[in-house]
Structure 1
Amino acid sequence: MAASAAAKRLVVFGGTGFVGSGIAKEAVKRGFDVTCVTRGGAAPAHLLGDAERGWASEIDWRRGDALRPETYRDAVRGADAVITAVGRLPMPSLTREEIVRDNGETNVAPGRVAMALGVRRLVVVGASIPPFVPGMAFGWGFKDAAYKVGKANAERFAREEFVGSGGDGDGDGGNNARGAVVLKPGGVSGTRWVDGVAVPLYVAMAPLGFALSKLPSALDPLASLAPVSVECVARAAVRGATEDAYAGKFTVIENLELIRGFGGD
Structure 2
Amino acid sequence: MWSALRIVQQQGAAPSKLSRATRLVVRPFSADASAAGAPGASAAGSGQAPPSGPPTVVVFGGRGFVGSAVCQEALKQGLEVVSVTPSGTPPLTRAPWVDRVEWVRANALEPRTYQHLLPGAVAAISCVGGFGSTQQMLQVNGAANAAAIAAARAAGVPRFAYVSAHMPPVPGFEQLMEGYVKGKRQAEEELARQYPDGGVALRPWIIYGDRAVSSTIQLPLGLLFGPVEQLLKRVPNARQLADTPLAGALFLPPVSVRAVARAAVAAATDDSVPPGVMNVWDIEKYGDA
Q: Please say if 1:66 is aligned against 2:108.
A: yes
What is the match of residue 258 of structure 2? 231
Alignment of 1:192-207 (within 5 A): 192-194=211-213, 197-207=217-227
CA distance in 2, matches of 1:71, 1:2: 26
1:250 maps to what in 2? 275
User: Which blocks of at least 5 consecutive residues in structure 2 are unaligned?
Assistant: 8-54, 243-250
**Aligned residues between the structures:** 233
For 2:234 and 2:113, the matched residues in 1 are separated by: 45
Taking only aligned residues, the RMSD between alpha carbons, in angstroms, comes to: 2.0
Tell me, yes or no, if structure 1 residue 151 matches structure 2 residue 184.
yes
Query: SS of the counterpart of 1:139?
Result: helix
Q: Residue 11 of structure 1: which of 23, 40, 58 is its match?
A: 58
Q: Which position in structure 2 is the counterpart of 1:76?
A: 118
Distance 1:230 1:98 in 2: 25
8 Å Cα contact 1:212/1:222 also seen in 2: no
Contact 2:5-2:122 within 8 A present in 1 as well: no
The answer for the alignment partner of 2:204 in structure 1 is 185
Instruction: Give the whole-Å Cα distance in 2 for the aligned partners of 1:250 and 1:101.
Output: 25
Where does residue 27 of structure 1 map in the other structure?
Answer: 74
- Give distance in 2, aligned partners of 1:6 and 1:57: 27
Tell me, in whole angstroms, the C-alpha distance in 1 between the residues paired with 2:213 and 2:142. 23
How many Å apart are 1:231 and its aligned residue?
Answer: 0.6
Please give the per-residue CA displacement for 1:104-139, whole angstroms capped at 9, x wherever unaligned.
1121111111111111101000000212286xx322
2:230 maps to what in 1? 210
For the pair shown, the structure with the greater C-alpha radius of gyration is 2
Which residue matches 1:241?
268
| SS of aligned partner of 2:4 | coil
Partner of 2:286: 262
CA distance 1:11–1:191, shift in 2 (3 Å): same
In structure 2, relative to structure 1, the CA distance for the partners of 1:66 and 1:20 (3 Å cut) is same
C-alpha displacement of 1:3: 5.0
1:14-45 deviations in Å (ceiling 9; x for gaps) = 10001111111000011111111111212133
After superposition, give the CA deviation of every residue in 1:217-250 in whole Å (9 maximum; x if it has no partner).
x33234660100001100111111111213xx63
Once the two structures are superposed, the pairs formed by residues 92-107 of structure 1 within 5 Å of their partners are 94-107=132-145
- Would you say the 8 A contact 1:3–1:244 is kept in 2? no
User: TM-score, structure 1 length as denominator?
Assistant: 0.81
Query: Percent of aligned pairs with the same residue?
Result: 35
Q: How many Å separate the matches in 2 of 1:42 and 1:67?
A: 18
In 2: Cα distance, 1:187 partner to 1:75 partner: 31
CA distance in 2 between partners of 1:258 and 1:214 (Å): 17
Other-structure match for 1:174: none
- 1:195-236 deviation digits (Å, cap 9, x = unpaired): 5542221121111111112323x3323466010000110011
Query: What is residue 163 of structure 1 aligned with on the other side?
Result: 195
Letter in 1 for 2:256: S
CA contact (8 A) 2:2 2:122 kept: no
TM-score (norm 2): 0.75
Task: Measure how far apart 1:80 and its partner are.
Answer: 1.1
Comparing 220-229 and 183-192, the one that deviates more: 220-229
| Structure 2: distance between partners of 1:29 and 1:163 | 26
In the alignment, is the contact (CA less than 8 A) between 1:181 and 1:251 conserved in 2? yes
List gaps (5 residues or longer) in structure 1: 168-178
1:117 is aligned to 2:141 = no
- Does the 8 A contact of 1:187 with 1:227 survive in 2? yes
Q: Distance in 2 between matches of 1:71 and 1:237?
A: 24
